[in-house]
Structure 1
């Protein structure tokens, strides 16, 4: 008999609670519940965890350090409430009734400004947990199960409440984990063998961060973090706004959250979804987005219905010391799905909690090819009727399949507009429109509509990408034979600097990344900047390449990186970017160039180098690279000294660029008259790794429904936007 069978027979109400915790949908009522909890007086601190997790000892340590009364529920409340020992009560009523009686006793607990150590079974009574959550913060001591079993054996505890005959202790601990996961405000990830003193230190530090404002957000161009209270932006605020009013990008205040090597070790056996929760909850304050809601969103985002791979983003050995981080298993076959299956849920939650029920939002997006399709898919799945999406793409600057992914998208609140210009114009147009107060006033007054962005200028769109960089390292430890703490290199093809910025965040969080390697194509303005310190757009002309997603000259997220490199010198950032807008260039000091070069190595490759990498890699390994990954492969090879593993971000599936890939592996001698379906058939006949992407075959069977094309004129695009908003919400 399994532990689940035991509870199925003995506690149907507990299974009801379990179903609640496992629910994948996030109801409006649940959202409202967590919003109200965020405003409650939380002067009690509840310690929650398995028997043997150290709650009682840690509680005493915290009481001494914080000057608070200490209550152990087992010893100080239950025994006096029942007038008998806990063991006697359990023997008297049996395990089933004990859980009920224990919950009722907890409902009668009255305490203020106290450290309260819960029993291991308290979280299995939903009403009791709801009661205590109204009076304090619940801290989960997440201790490794093997450690707990060892401690219980030393304590000569061989059975706990709810454990049926023949059920191993480890199984009951695993079963109970879901109840702990559903009830905490803050998780303390305890290392293997970590002392109670160290755990208490972590709690004190976390409490300080919870109560002070490091999780507030500021613009890279202004000192909002030190201004008045209304300028302390929350996570939900910045997700809704996208771009700061001063045209800067939002950054979280305070130091980067950190993982110790021991905490990273704890993440090794976990799934991608479980890792994502533990990573993102370090960034997002529970009052902004409660961990239970965040966990539900993560499970919704990275389900098998959206990512046709159990590992979500598997790490694949290519050859020698090189590995590919396959980021293309999502619904639109690019790395943008990683964020854009989650960010729309952030946006909808923020809309529900921060705005009144009549407010609408139009998400305005510029794409160099991949973002557009991912935004359309993500918001179609995860956003409600108060959100519309308008995508701007360079009409001649993306692949035919990328274009078809977007122009074939149906929906009442979807608009896809080609622009006779390049991505830089599309991106600058988005920023201009969002920052235009006259446009904002007109849309709000006429339609109750506000504007936001879903490009990586939006913090909620950027942050989820941090997860796969951390996971790639963990997978490397699991599969390659390197030990935790050994260094790796990470090579990322990038144009807008968002992907490599989140790799920098992973490095700052404690992941042992030795070198971040930035790979550019012939639009190599980032290579020039990191080499010379000059960011120069004068006389620059964007060149169309076979790697269009990185055909970018004005890299938005570089601004965030410079903010970090200058230790938050917003005046300097504002000066540089004002000069860039006015004169088309700026130059940073030599000392800053040296500081950047210590972290990020850069290089670029030609179109011929890119094609050769696709052809040679396929001939030698049977693996088909898309052109962007091929750019990364070329640059990774140049820096590869064989002394450490190199992970290359494989940012898109080759099928999205089938014609260019087909031409490359045939040395440009292949047929040029093949349609996308025929190209897929030709490529599939070569039996490459990986196989054809699971969604692209359906895309090529669709017909475009969006045919609007605008000139390179901001006012013309604004007029198209106004017509679309009127159509959505007239």
Structure 2
């Protein structure tokens, strides 16, 4: 066999990890700074296979393992009992690298005494300081390093280690750690005072671990050392190659063959661009990651913030956003802005129907779950030298959520990022309109358009994909355009989190057994929330059926039943559920791309036909896939009001008009054998006239604030939304501008706004 063939065969074996190659007795790459104590490494006593003797194979093997971490260290971090030392030894064997245990090989050598004796000698606080000083006097390269459980509590030494290392967080459930420590007869760890439980201390330690990790390995109950080591290696490979996690347009035909419509983008680029230049929407080329059943179980005891960080770490390449920065952003997004500490709680409604309450954010709608997070991600991703104008088209709720989310940026970011929200001047509820106006700020303005949402969204897309217009704004104002609608991937992605979290809450509250399927019913017009639920299903959440609920603008219902998407001779009908008054559903394009296995050609063909002819027919094979996953129906205005009335009188709970649409449809379509989770997408106060009518309240006053006063006086469940109330009071003193339904007029109007936001380039 030729040498090339041998190398090829050997490479395949390495990739499959069927051949384990190791160094034996190799001295660690330890550097001792002046004054440092000796840190002599103790090699394993076990006999391990040596690398191949042939020089060409040896060089090949070295290049493979060197390319993984080079001269950097692989640093294992986690609580005591997480398996850092044992996993580190196995990783050392697999990678052919020396292994350094900080406790045995650094601290005890430096102190000339055992760690336990040192802790007993100096006490908790001084121990952490002494531990940190010892690490600052020491360094290594090209090694696997197992930290002590308390090392991350000393910032200076962790920063020192991270300069030449990749920090891996072995995230083991606190309950399992406690059990392991009990088995090991360990009854006290660093930082534990008398009376404090081990569990509480371990939960408190998390704040230190999440400050330093480059990537996390989510350890499942019962994982073997071999399994954890393989997870580390897989995650390391992803970390090192995360820059290649590409995104493509849904209309990309053949990116691997250099098709101009198939050029790939990074996560940061798709966040900044918003919309692909060919008019398509960005999606990850390799799809979304999946979680094992054990990993979802691991998230059972986590709160919403922890779940969001762990899920998003898997979905956002660390090359674009480091895990630590992402964690900071997630904590800020889901902090004090939400009235409920659970962020998106699940409530039992009646029978086997449950509500996912998505309205506890500052603007009282499900949009907040994404739009408290997306602006922070956007600000991180855009170049520091660039101004950005974010455009948003709203059918009611998005506008206020976008304006509020971007107003929460820090002052420096608000100097270079501004928002213009387009909304149908007469196509949303009075409270929604007041809310959008009340959410305006120094870097956020609203514009009423004398048309409907579809026109606003179409104009927004035209602005983003018009090279003459975007080029002019860049040249004159140094300003790039982007969007915060769900056509932007960073806006859609956070919605996946609450579908996964809701399932875990159903289990943790004892409503269902883990692994039991559920149906999910969503009121939708733009299909983003439906798509996010479908993505959650792909990631491992056992969703049986998605139930698509429409109002009288039921184009999606007809499409799911017939495969015919037909906008011809169709007019948008104003309704009491205005947030789903949409005919042209943007995220349907992503869904068709998904079920067609990424067939950009068919997506391009269908949506080009929609643009030119106003309709398309989905091929039968794809229609069958749609109907296997989704069922659909629509709800009249009368049925919507009846659902609100019925729910209130049977449960005391008030549904908003959109949730009532979903409730009415779920009543018809669920087969009673499976629990159904209904997405409660907004607080009822935003639609006060319809709610008062449904509750049979006579003599309804026309003033929106008076209507809210009346609802508040009734002590309804859920209670009044205080943040919404504050925003509406501000709106009484604010003004907004109104434009004709003409794309060129809107484009000119946006340009006239820019001088008040950014300086013109001269």
User: Common fold, TM-score beyond 0.5?
Assistant: yes
Q: Select between 314-323 and 247-256 the one with higher mean Cα deviation.
A: 247-256
- Cα deviations by residue, 1:599-629 (Å, 9 ceiling, x for unpaired): 1221112222112111221222222111110
Question: Does residue 583 of the first structure (1) align with residue 610 of the second (2)?
Answer: no
**Which aligned pairs between 1:546-625 and structure 2 lie closer than 5 A?**
546-625=576-655
1:693 is matched with 721
Q: Structure 2 unaligned segments of length 5 or more: list them.
A: 1-67
Give the match's secondary structure for 2:144.
Answer: strand
Instruction: Tell me the CA shift for residue 573 of structure 1.
Output: 1.5
Aligned equivalent of 1:114, options 99, 119, 143: 143
Question: Does residue 325 of the first structure (1) align with residue 356 of the second (2)?
Answer: yes
CA contact under 8 A between 1:140 and 1:186: conserved in structure 2? yes
Q: Structure 1 unaligned segments of length 5 or more: list them.
A: 1-38
Instruction: Tell me the CA shift for residue 423 of structure 1.
Output: 0.6
Instruction: Tell me the CA shift for residue 80 of structure 1.
Output: 4.3
Q: Select between 463-472 and 81-90 the one with higher mean Cα deviation.
A: 81-90
1:710 is matched with 739
1:6 is matched with none
Instruction: Tell me the CA shift for residue 87 of structure 1.
Output: 4.4
1:209 is matched with 238
RMSD between superposed Cα atoms in Å: 2.3
Instruction: Tell me the CA shift for residue 67 of structure 1.
Output: 3.3
CA contact under 8 A between 1:493 and 1:518: conserved in structure 2? yes
Q: Select between 679-688 and 572-581 the one with higher mean Cα deviation.
A: 679-688
Question: Does residue 239 of the first structure (1) align with residue 262 of the second (2)?
Answer: no
Matched pairs, number: 685
Question: Does residue 375 of the first structure (1) align with residue 405 of the second (2)?
Answer: no
2:19 is matched with none
Cα separation, partners in 2 of 1:634 and 1:63, compared to 1, 3 Å: same
Instruction: Tell me the CA shift for residue 477 of structure 1.
Output: 1.1
Aligned equivalent of 2:330, options 298, 304, 318: 298
Instruction: Tell me the CA shift for residue 424 of structure 1.
Output: 0.7
Give the match's secondary structure for 1:292.
Answer: helix
Aligned equivalent of 2:73, options 44, 56, 62: 44
2:663 is matched with 633
CA contact under 8 A between 2:440 and 2:446: conserved in structure 1? no
Instruction: Tell me the CA shift for residue 117 of structure 1.
Output: 1.3
Give the match's secondary structure for 1:618.
Answer: helix
CA contact under 8 A between 1:247 and 1:435: conserved in structure 2? yes
Distance 1:183 1:700 in 2: 42
Question: Does residue 428 of the first structure (1) align with residue 458 of the second (2)?
Answer: yes
Q: Select between 54-63 and 88-97 the one with higher mean Cα deviation.
A: 88-97
Q: Select between 602-611 and 84-93 the one with higher mean Cα deviation.
A: 84-93
Distance 2:632 2:575 in 1: 19
CA contact under 8 A between 1:407 and 1:704: conserved in structure 2? no
- Cα deviations by residue, 1:30-58 (Å, 9 ceiling, x for unpaired): xxxxxxxxx99784211111121111111
Give the match's secondary structure for 2:279.
Answer: coil
Give the match's secondary structure for 1:300.
Answer: helix
- Cα deviations by residue, 1:548-592 (Å, 9 ceiling, x for unpaired): 111111110111111111111122212222221122222221111
Question: Does residue 681 of the first structure (1) align with residue 709 of the second (2)?
Answer: yes
2:672 is matched with 642
Instruction: Tell me the CA shift for residue 120 of structure 1.
Output: 1.4
- Cα deviations by residue, 1:93-139 (Å, 9 ceiling, x for unpaired): 55544433432332344433332211212212212211221222111
**Which aligned pairs between 1:127-526 and structure 2 lie closer than 5 A?**
127-213=156-242, 215-222=245-252, 226=256, 232-304=264-336, 306-351=337-382, 354-356=383-385, 359-382=386-409, 383-526=413-556
Give the match's secondary structure for 2:549.
Answer: strand
CA contact under 8 A between 1:225 and 1:253: conserved in structure 2? no
Give the match's secondary structure for 1:450.
Answer: strand
Give the match's secondary structure for 1:455.
Answer: coil
Cα separation, partners in 2 of 1:41 and 1:647, compared to 1, 3 Å: same
CA contact under 8 A between 1:123 and 1:180: conserved in structure 2? yes
| Structure with larger RCO (C-alpha < 8 A, sep 6+) | 1
Aligned equivalent of 2:95, options 57, 63, 66: 66
Distance 1:504 1:680 in 2: 36
Give the match's secondary structure for 2:698.
Answer: coil
Cα separation, partners in 2 of 1:406 and 1:166, compared to 1, 3 Å: closer
Instruction: Tell me the CA shift for residue 342 of structure 1.
Output: 1.0
Distance 1:552 1:162 in 2: 56
Distance 1:507 1:380 in 2: 33
Instruction: Tell me the CA shift for residue 162 of structure 1.
Output: 3.7
Question: TM-score scaled to structure 2, two decimals?
Answer: 0.86
Cα separation, partners in 2 of 1:41 and 1:654, compared to 1, 3 Å: farther
Give the match's secondary structure for 1:692.
Answer: coil
Give the match's secondary structure for 1:141.
Answer: strand
Question: TM-score scaled to structure 1, two decimals?
Answer: 0.89
Instruction: Tell me the CA shift for residue 208 of structure 1.
Output: 2.5
Q: Select between 546-555 and 521-530 the one with higher mean Cα deviation.
A: 521-530
- Cα deviations by residue, 1:62-104 (Å, 9 ceiling, x for unpaired): 2333333322222334444455544455566555444334323
CA contact under 8 A between 1:496 and 1:558: conserved in structure 2? yes
Instruction: Tell me the CA shift for residue 338 of structure 1.
Output: 0.9
Distance 1:614 1:92 in 2: 67
1:12 is matched with none
CA contact under 8 A between 2:82 and 2:170: conserved in structure 1? yes
Instruction: Tell me the CA shift for residue 379 of structure 1.
Output: 0.8
Question: Does residue 659 of the first structure (1) align with residue 689 of the second (2)?
Answer: yes
Give the match's secondary structure for 2:314.
Answer: coil
CA contact under 8 A between 2:253 and 2:600: conserved in structure 1? yes
Give the match's secondary structure for 2:509.
Answer: helix
Give the match's secondary structure for 2:408.
Answer: helix
Give the match's secondary structure for 2:745.
Answer: helix
Instruction: Tell me the CA shift for residue 205 of structure 1.
Output: 2.0
Q: Which has the larger radius of gyration?
A: 2
Question: Does residue 102 of the first structure (1) align with residue 131 of the second (2)?
Answer: yes
